[in-house]
Structure 1
Amino acid sequence: MNKITLISLSVALALTACSDDKAASKEEGKQPAQQVDAPAEASDAMTAEEASEKLNQLFTENFQESLKFNPIQATMIGDRRYNDQLPNFLSEELRQKSHDFTVKWLDKIKQIDRDLLKGQDRLSYDVFIYQSEMALEGEKFPGHLIPLNQSNNLAGFFAQLGSGQSVQPFETVEDYDNWLGRVDDGVVVLDQIIINLNQGIEQNVVQPKALMKKVLPQIKAHVVEDPTKSIFYKPIESMPDSFSEEDKNRLTEAYTKAIVEKLVPSYQRLHDYIKDDYMEHARDSFGLSEQPNGEDWYNYQLKTYTTTDLTADEIHQFGLNEVTRIHEEMREVMKQEGFEGTLDEWFAYVQSNPEFYYDNEEDLLQGYRDLQKKVNKLLPTMFNIQPKSDYEVRAVEAFRAESAAGASYMPGSPDGSRPGIFYVNTFNLKGQPKFGMETLSIHEAAPGHHFQISLQQEVEGLPMFRRFGGLSVFSEGWALYAESIGKEMGMFTDPMQYYGRLSDEMLRAMRLVVDTGLHAKGWSRQKAIDYMMKNSSMADTDVISEVERYIAWPGQAVSYKVGQREISRLRAEAEEKLGDKFDIREFHTQILIDGAMPIPVLKTKILEWIDSKQAS
């Protein structure tokens, strides 16, 4: 899956404020945030060249200011200026500042006459306007009152940051001191979670009990008696040898004190509040439609994640049709394997046959590393561009593994100093069948998420907000499309590996049915679980994790198939219209080289490219 965990979280944290006193204390010599100019001049006074120059100047200023609002995004892209900051983005004050920030920059950009813009400038203008207006539309829905669930657990994300194995750097003494500053801000956010959850109770906007039960052990994992057993202590265990003894001793003492006096008490408060107070108010229902104004809220989620006007009914029927189609392809694999039985019997067979599963974590991880080498050799057959950065294969951390998805991807830094990370969940090895490895590797790594996101970050000609932004329908649609070209690349030569491809596509098809079922049609958690168990060979633990993810993250799961369908449609149209002029590598470049775009913008871009190729 791509939660694309940190990108999605970065979007959730976006446009939030930071502490000016900390920003002012940074050393000289680091890249300063650019000053915001006066509003753009009236468009009728501009030439096309001046409009382009002014637009890109505003984009640069906007992005630099946004990094001050969102220090986590700065950290993710390798900008260390704000690594000691974590704003209280859940507070009312900062949410208002976020609103003001969006309105200000939307007004500035709209002062540029779109008719004067061409090419990339017009694309950038359209994407910026679209994203800003969607952000403002979403403000009427009280997502800040349910800031915690088992999938997007801010408390867990904070622990990942402090583990020394995530995007927060721990290489220099300054890095270590920066984290201590972020700890001070982080405990404020942890306490703000309690405040917001309590406000949610007062306004009858609460999470389902089923989700919050999964949150409790995730938080409890950070309530330790021995500070050296805390995940926040791991950076101390791996301090560089180059540090002086004085710094090592000082930092060890400071981290120990932070764990004992700040972090453990904060996690304990949050845990006890959820357990003793919140749980009795959490709801027994599951769908977003059960929340106040829930139907409109869900429709907004669908619009946000698909960038289309598809209705819940249309998406639900699309899913039902795809489930039927994929079942027929699965039956073809059964014939190739000489299996004489029903589809249900086939599902039971692949679930129970030990030859399809590893019996230890390291063999599974090594299998993915071997696939990394295999796929990398095949990429030139389908692509004439490749990212400079590489990725690593890692197991999901133990404290979040039980509720985490089967896999996820965390982007690396654009300069390649921090590789991307393909996380594999080894909590239940029955949830990681050997026959699913090729398609999962393609989706999460190359040519899927790692490939697409890394290329996007490396395109220097794009405005920064496009290089480091993301849209689920594009990123997930691309990753699922990448799976669909596996055979063309030379993968899936084993029928069982192709079954793995179909199994993963079935998951994405079922998501269309289950997500809309839960949030628009009154489905229960159990009905959703039963549907997925009946229609796939997924492990029960994976099904439960998936269904609870859809409950926690309404609408996101439908973006995969919607995005894939649109990319595949555009390819088919290009092949039909261009004939011998069609080059699959060139088409893929056109899809990828401009970064994530809303579906309507992507359509316009590709159709114009097709027209230009026909005319040449």
Structure 2
Amino acid sequence: MKKQLLGASVVLLLSACQSNSISSQPTLENASKSALASAVQAGQNEAQRLNLLLEEYFNESMALNPVYATFVGEYAYNDKFNEPISEASRAKDLAFEKKYLAAIKAIDADKLEGQDLLSYQIFKRDREMAILGSRFDDYLMPLDQMSGVHNYFAGLGSGSSAQPFNSAQDYYNFEQRAKGFALYMDSTIEAMREGIEKQVVLPKAIIEKVIPQLQAHVVDDVKKSVFYGPLTMLESNEQISASEKAKITASYSKMIEQVIIPAFKKTYEFMRDEYRPHGRDSVGLSALPNGKAWYEYQIAENTTLSLSAEEIHEYGQQEVARILAEMKKVKETVGFKGSLPEFFTFLKEDEQFYFKSEQEVVDAYEGVKAKINSRVGKLFEVFPKADYEVRPVEAFRAASSAGASYQNPAPDGSRPGIFYINTHNLKAQPKFIMETLSIHEASPGHHFQIAIQQEVEGLAKFRKFGGYTVFAEGWALYAESLGKEMGLFTDPYQWYGRLVDEQLRAMRLVVDTGLHAMGWSRQQAIDFMAANSSMAASDIESEVERYISIPGQALAYKIGQRAIRDMRTKAEAALGDKFDIRKFHTQILIDGALPMPVLQAKVEQWVKEQKKA
């Protein structure tokens, strides 16, 4: 399945805590000595059995997901790629989940407490959800413009992502990994051919976005390939001798020419000539076999809550109307005399709201970073040790990427977090969203949540490097709501930017459910967003096609924000003068990402303890 390439969410989601190298840990090959076997031996208490089980799970999952292992700093598998898509590999993945579900059920939860109980609860839930998800044929649509393997592999190979290129061995490792990537790409072609037979294929609009992404890597000169980036870095590497550099340059260039480019070319030609004619006109999951149940699963997976598409759609409509009313107040505050749609047009067209260059964008966000850093102490008592950098999105993926994103820091502290700003279209990066976007993607949003999670001492690795979209994105959107409390949003246009961001999340509730449960067309979704926001047309198109490609993910933001805000409101009401906002935020962040029901129970217990204090 697509999600197994990078493991748990967020992360697309996801420091000071150094992870142990997996090379010294149990693997699939020496299962007889594994922690799983040890955990069931007599003499171990339930907490010890649990923690040995969780350690074994993490180590074995790294062997099954070597690319994800690289992203979380487990480098023993840097020369390997994930197994090609096949019936056998999917059966292995399912057997893996069933084995660990059986193992966790053998542990008595009544004898656990604290972090151990939290780990038990979420581990068991995750295995059950993974097994439930195996019913659906997402492997038949392995590529899309957002999370496709072709995109993140290019990031790895560019030298600007998680793949290290420090030693000669690092270069040779990637050469071997590239061979695995080529085999995997072959398997995506076979999976998509099977999808054609079963009528589980990508919408035409998405195919048209993927084709140029593949084509971009089909070049005649290896030096023009994004994969040549590490060889450019090699020139200034003082740890590698000149003779070794010459050897690496020759073999690495050959690998790009004979392995990577042909893999992209083959997939590009398949998508263009064979797959495109079979693309579907419909865009939602509900149009596919078993689509209604599939989307219900996506809602549960992404929100961790029992919610129907209908109630989410209705809540979204209410929020869109509320936020529009707030936008009208801003229009009146700044003295704009026209209608709200005319105000939207003014904001989209007036040059005062837009940057002139990529560097201006980066410099402006660096200024916002400094402003926020001077204020977060008002609301927080725990802070990440890792810093973050502001960078523009790389050119090779900018055209189809979101407006902004966050990449977690390296667990060993060797790489900071990265706040990516998409400067492909400067009209999609208005100045008035700077404060709210920085809060969301960096501090105290994603950077706080993800970096702190990686830095928590003693946290089970599956939790340290895992996550839940509803927690990560719910937290980031909740963090935006803290802007005024931090002394930001004093400029009415920056406050409008906050409303723009929240409106985007509210519209997502309507559009995602509309597309996947109510038969909306791509154009219906675009028209709805255009009528209710001042977003650039290119940004709306990118957003809508994102929702089409990753159903349910966009629901997590507003649903998660609502859940966390409800927890705070109830805690404030229960504790009165005893409520401390800094301690509340510590409770939300200090145990890493949790499903909303588990987080709610944890906060309720904290409130009871605070009452007694």
2:211 is aligned to: 216
Is residue 206–residue 283 contact of structure 1 (8 Å, CA) maintained in 2?
yes
Residues of 1 paired with 2:4 and 2:331: CA distance?
38
1:19 is aligned to: none
TM-aligned CA distance change 1:236 to 1:40, over 3 Å: closer
1:29 Cα deviation after fit: 11
78, 81, 93: which one aligns with 1:98 = 93
Question: In the alignment, residue 87 of structure 1 is paired with which amino acid?
Answer: N
- The reply to whether residue 147 of structure 1 matches residue 142 of structure 2 is yes
Residues of 1 paired with 2:67 and 2:261: CA distance?
22
1:566 is aligned to: 563
TM-aligned CA distance change 1:30 to 1:304, over 3 Å: closer
Alignment map for 1:379-398 (pairs within 5 Å)? 379-398=376-395
126, 135, 147: which one aligns with 1:131 = 126
Residues of 2 paired with 1:504 and 1:168: CA distance?
32
Aligned residues: 595
Alignment map for 1:431-450 (pairs within 5 Å)? 431-450=428-447
TM-aligned CA distance change 1:331 to 1:12, over 3 Å: closer
Deviation digits for residues 354-380 of structure 1, max 9, x if unmatched? 000001111001111121121111111
CA RMSD, Structure 1 to Structure 2 (Å): 1.8
Is residue 303–residue 555 contact of structure 2 (8 Å, CA) maintained in 1?
yes
1:83 Cα deviation after fit: 0.6
Residues of 2 paired with 1:90 and 1:41: CA distance?
33
1:351 is aligned to: 348
2:312 is aligned to: 315
Question: In the alignment, residue 262 of structure 1 is paired with which amino acid?
Answer: V
Deviation digits for residues 362-407 of structure 1, max 9, x if unmatched? 1001111121121111111110000000111111111111111101
1:91 Cα deviation after fit: 2.4
1:21 is aligned to: none
1:548 is aligned to: 545
Residues of 2 paired with 1:9 and 1:550: CA distance?
19
597, 608, 611: which one aligns with 1:611 = 608
TM-aligned CA distance change 1:363 to 1:587, over 3 Å: same
Is residue 312–residue 509 contact of structure 2 (8 Å, CA) maintained in 1?
yes
TM-aligned CA distance change 1:180 to 1:312, over 3 Å: same
Is residue 356–residue 433 contact of structure 1 (8 Å, CA) maintained in 2?
yes
Residues of 2 paired with 1:64 and 1:599: CA distance?
26
1:463 is aligned to: 460
195, 198, 201: which one aligns with 1:203 = 198
Alignment map for 1:170-569 (pairs within 5 Å)? 170-239=165-234, 240-569=237-566
1:72 is aligned to: 67
Question: How much identity, in percent, do the aligned residues show?
Answer: 51
19, 30, 33: which one aligns with 2:26 = 33
1:73 Cα deviation after fit: 2.2
Is residue 35–residue 52 contact of structure 2 (8 Å, CA) maintained in 1?
no
Question: In the alignment, residue 33 of structure 1 is paired with which amino acid?
Answer: P
Is residue 288–residue 519 contact of structure 1 (8 Å, CA) maintained in 2?
yes
Residues of 1 paired with 2:146 and 2:316: CA distance?
23
Is residue 390–residue 416 contact of structure 1 (8 Å, CA) maintained in 2?
no
Is residue 99–residue 136 contact of structure 1 (8 Å, CA) maintained in 2?
yes
Q: 5+ unaligned residues in a row in structure 1: which ranges?
A: 15-27
TM-aligned CA distance change 1:428 to 1:285, over 3 Å: same
Aligned residue for 1:279, secondary structure, equals helix
1:70 Cα deviation after fit: 1.2
587, 593, 613: which one aligns with 1:596 = 593
Aligned residue for 1:166, secondary structure, equals coil
Deviates more, 1:75-84 or 1:586-595: 75-84
1:37 Cα deviation after fit: 3.5
Residues of 1 paired with 2:303 and 2:10: CA distance?
20
Is residue 437–residue 500 contact of structure 1 (8 Å, CA) maintained in 2?
yes
Residues of 2 paired with 1:446 and 1:391: CA distance?
9
Is residue 9–residue 152 contact of structure 1 (8 Å, CA) maintained in 2?
no
Question: In the alignment, residue 181 of structure 1 is paired with which amino acid?
Answer: Q
Question: In the alignment, residue 407 of structure 1 is paired with which amino acid?
Answer: A
2:17 is aligned to: none
1:18 is aligned to: none
Deviation digits for residues 216-274 of structure 1, max 9, x if unmatched? 11000000000111111110011113311111111111111111111111111000001
Aligned residue for 1:148, secondary structure, equals coil
Residues of 2 paired with 1:206 and 1:30: CA distance?
39
Is residue 436–residue 501 contact of structure 2 (8 Å, CA) maintained in 1?
yes
Question: In the alignment, residue 267 of structure 1 is paired with which amino acid?
Answer: F
64, 81, 95: which one aligns with 1:86 = 81
1:169 is aligned to: 164
Question: In the alignment, residue 545 of structure 1 is paired with which amino acid?
Answer: S
Runs of 4+ in 1 over 6 A off after TM superposition: 5-8
1:72 Cα deviation after fit: 1.8
TM-aligned CA distance change 1:599 to 1:321, over 3 Å: same
Residues of 2 paired with 1:517 and 1:568: CA distance?
25
TM-aligned CA distance change 1:538 to 1:29, over 3 Å: closer
TM-aligned CA distance change 1:11 to 1:439, over 3 Å: same
Aligned residue for 1:283, secondary structure, equals coil
TM-aligned CA distance change 1:397 to 1:438, over 3 Å: same
Residues of 2 paired with 1:555 and 1:573: CA distance?
27
- The reply to whether residue 586 of structure 1 matches residue 583 of structure 2 is yes
TM-aligned CA distance change 1:12 to 1:194, over 3 Å: farther
Deviation digits for residues 331-372 of structure 1, max 9, x if unmatched? 111121111221111101100110000011110011111211
Deviation digits for residues 505-527 of structure 1, max 9, x if unmatched? 00000000000000111100001
Q: 5+ unaligned residues in a row in structure 2: which ranges?
A: 12-20, 28-33
Question: In the alignment, residue 32 of structure 1 is paired with which amino acid?
Answer: Q
Is residue 50–residue 104 contact of structure 2 (8 Å, CA) maintained in 1?
yes
TM-score (norm 1): 0.94
Question: In the alignment, residue 389 of structure 1 is paired with which amino acid?
Answer: A
